């Protein structure tokens, strides 16, 4: 089995209170994407060099790098995961979790501000400018204090791309309307977790397993306040690393999870070219008892 680089990544679940309960914002990946094309996901992506700027603490409110690193269980550089989550939210969904010069979460519903930040979004998306540069120009501080570490998923060995992904959760800000970038992602919606899961079971809403399990966890909460309160109280987030195995009888490939019989003994399979991660089956509904620190 060839070695595939394990890339650090961050994903953010933006939530709000809808008329029928908690809702989460989701995006559909481009059908032509070579990684989980067509699947519905939360905003997120790899932590890049721009997220690791040496002066991050100067533009981040309420969390130091030492505190962030300790929570993630890394030696240093943990704050970059929060910054990456905010950047991906801005690039893919147009939502910027940041405080303005007045100390309030920035609003983009003013036409002038909306047009200006749309330009900033394009610049950040194509790598022309860093998010920290936008913060300096606009007098912003990134709202890392309102973003909570929630779960930790590692892409199985044998996948064509592998990510070491930290999942975060945050309340969607007022005065901002999320919308997809129509590039990496081609559709977007607010949806109740239970509705997304029901549509997935009906075969009309593709999900990869970490997203599905996150939705199962989210549907336990009645409101954004309840969810964020629970997330803020999480003390330990274990890593969950599924494994890809070839199904008995040559019937395809499936996911085996920590705690499943034989998990420690299986030989991970290499996923053949053309078999997408979002098409893999899970033999049974398995909820890791430590998922999400709960």
Neighbours of 74 (CB within 10 A): 15
Expressed as residue numbers, the domain containing 124 is 6-238
289 in a domain, yes or no?
no
Tally of domains within the chain: 2
CA–CA gap between residue 99 and residue 59 (Å, rounded): 10
* 233 in the same domain as 247: no
* 164 in the same domain as 23: yes
Q: What is each CA distance from 48 to 7, 15, 44, 236, 237, in whole angstroms?
A: 9, 25, 12, 25, 23
CATH code of 18's domain: 3.90.79.10
48 in a domain, yes or no?
yes
Q: Given CA atoms 193, 199, 205, 207 in this order, what sign does their dihedral have? A: positive
Q: What pLDDT, on the 0 to 100 scale, is given for residue 292?
A: 41
279 in a domain, yes or no?
yes
* 140 in the same domain as 56: yes
pTM: 0.89
* 143 in the same domain as 119: yes
* 106 in the same domain as 85: yes
* 177 in the same domain as 115: yes
* 199 in the same domain as 150: yes
Nearest to 190 by CA among 39, 40, 292, 10: 40
191 in a domain, yes or no?
yes
* 213 in the same domain as 88: yes
* 247 in the same domain as 218: no
> With a cut of 70, which residues of the chain have pLDDT below it?
1-2, 31-37, 248-251, 272, 274-294
- Give tens-digit pLDDT for 233-261: 999 999 999 888 877 666 677 778 888 87
264 in a domain, yes or no?
yes
230 in a domain, yes or no?
yes
- Give tens-digit pLDDT for 135-191: 999 999 999 999 999 999 999 888 888 899 999 999 999 999 998 877 778 889 999
What's the token pair of residue 136?
């300096």
- 61 three-state secondary structure: coil
11 in a domain, yes or no?
yes
């Amino acid at each position: 089995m060839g070695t595939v680089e394990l890339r650090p990544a961050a994903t953010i679940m933006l939530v709000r209170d809808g008329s029928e309960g908690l809702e989460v914002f989701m995006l559909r990946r481009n059908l032509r994407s070579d990684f989980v094309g067509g699947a519905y996901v939360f905003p997120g992506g790899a932590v890049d060099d721009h997220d690791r700027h040496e002066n991050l603490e100067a533009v981040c409110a309420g969390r130091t790098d030492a505190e962030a690193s300790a929570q993630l269980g890394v030696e240093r550089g943990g704050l970059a995961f929060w910054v990456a989550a905010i950047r991906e939210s801005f690039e893919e969904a147009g939502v910027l979790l940041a405080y303005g010069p007045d100390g309030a979460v920035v609003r983009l519903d003013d036409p002038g501000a909306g047009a200006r930040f749309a330009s900033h979004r394009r610049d950040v998306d194509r790598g022309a400018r860093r998010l920290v540069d936008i913060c300096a120009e606009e007098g912003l501080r990134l709202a890392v204090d309102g973003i909570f570490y929630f779960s930790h998923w590692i892409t199985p060995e044998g996948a064509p791309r592998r990510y070491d992904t930290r999942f975060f959760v945050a309340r969607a800000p007022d005065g901002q309307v999320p919308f997809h970038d129509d590039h990496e992602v081609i559709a977007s919606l607010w949806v109740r977790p239970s509705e997304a899961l029901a549509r997935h079971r009906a075969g009309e809403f593709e999900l990869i397993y970490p997203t599905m399990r996150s939705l199962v966890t989210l549907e336990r909460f009645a409101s954004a306040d309840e969810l964020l309160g629970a997330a803020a109280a999480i003390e330990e987030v274990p890593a969950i690393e599924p494994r890809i195995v070839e199904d008995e009888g040559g019937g395809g490939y499936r996911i085996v999870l920590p705690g499943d019989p034989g998990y420690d003994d299986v030989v991970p399979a290499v996923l053949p070219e053309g078999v997408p991660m979002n098409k893999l089956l899970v033999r049974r509904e398995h909820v890791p008892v430590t998922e999400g620190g709960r």
